[in-house]
Amino acid sequence: MTTAKRFPASLPQGAGGATAKRQVLMPQRHLREAAADAARLVQPQGQGLDSASVRQRMVARLRAEGLNEERVLEALAQVPRHEFVDSALAAQAYEDTALPIGHGQTISKPSVVAHMIGLLFKGRSAVAQGHLGRVLEIGTGCGYQAAVLALLARSVVSVERVQGLHERARANLGRVRLPVVPKLIWADGRLGAHGPFDSIVAAAGGEDLPPAWLQQLAPGGRLVAPMSKGSGQVLVVVDHVVERGVSQWLRTEHEAVLFVPLKSGVL
């Protein structure tokens, strides 16, 4: 992690630096690779996909890999990931791999979901409240991450630009019992939604962070999103800090990542 910087500020060009040497976080892998994983992996034996034991084994693997935000891991253990993928791929739902969900997109790896939500929990507001507060998710996809967020937040608003995915997420979430029902919006994610939000997380990255996201981030809130840097992307965290009545947006850079491009408009 680099030293905090005042935001807005342009990211330095070039892909060098310590972050370039880390393993790239790849939640949105090429569909060919995702399909290859689906063909290679085998169905869990001895337990049905509805069994809590299957999800607990997934969580145990993630914990062994160093993911240690227990509140997030507990949420992952409760959400039936197989309900968010095609039935033909359900047997691979609890492996730490991305899987195709249609429209040229994939469901993010559980480790990626856990890592990004774990970063949200380190924001000032989340630390003070003990939960993520009011959350904005950019890029609903199949709805899986929205379901996890619903177990950790006071409310969840999720925006998706692809109508087919928006409708699929609505159907998927309708099959899962959650304490908070995510509000799904079919719209341009760059515009955000009706803020303010205590936590904002994005599943797509562009050359900049849309001004609407920063404007909708509440004081004490935290934003986690990929952002272009040189020829690649890095994971960026922005904290909205108020000192002596003056707002500052402090940015830190984390590991190299690979997400789908952030685009305007709707499909």
Catalytic residue numbers, as ranges:
108
Locate 78 and state its tokens: 């409760």
Residue 105 has φ and ψ, to the nearest 5°, of -120, 165
**Residue 195 contacts by C-beta under 8 Å, 6 or more apart in sequence?**
136, 215, 216, 217, 218
Q: What is the dihedral of CA 112, 117, 118, 121, to 10 degrees?
A: 170
Q: 3-state class of 229 per DSSP?
A: strand
Closest CA to 97 of 34, 152, 48: 34
Q: How many CA atoms lie within 13 A of 228 on its CB side?
A: 11
CA dihedral sign, ordered 146, 148, 151, 154? negative
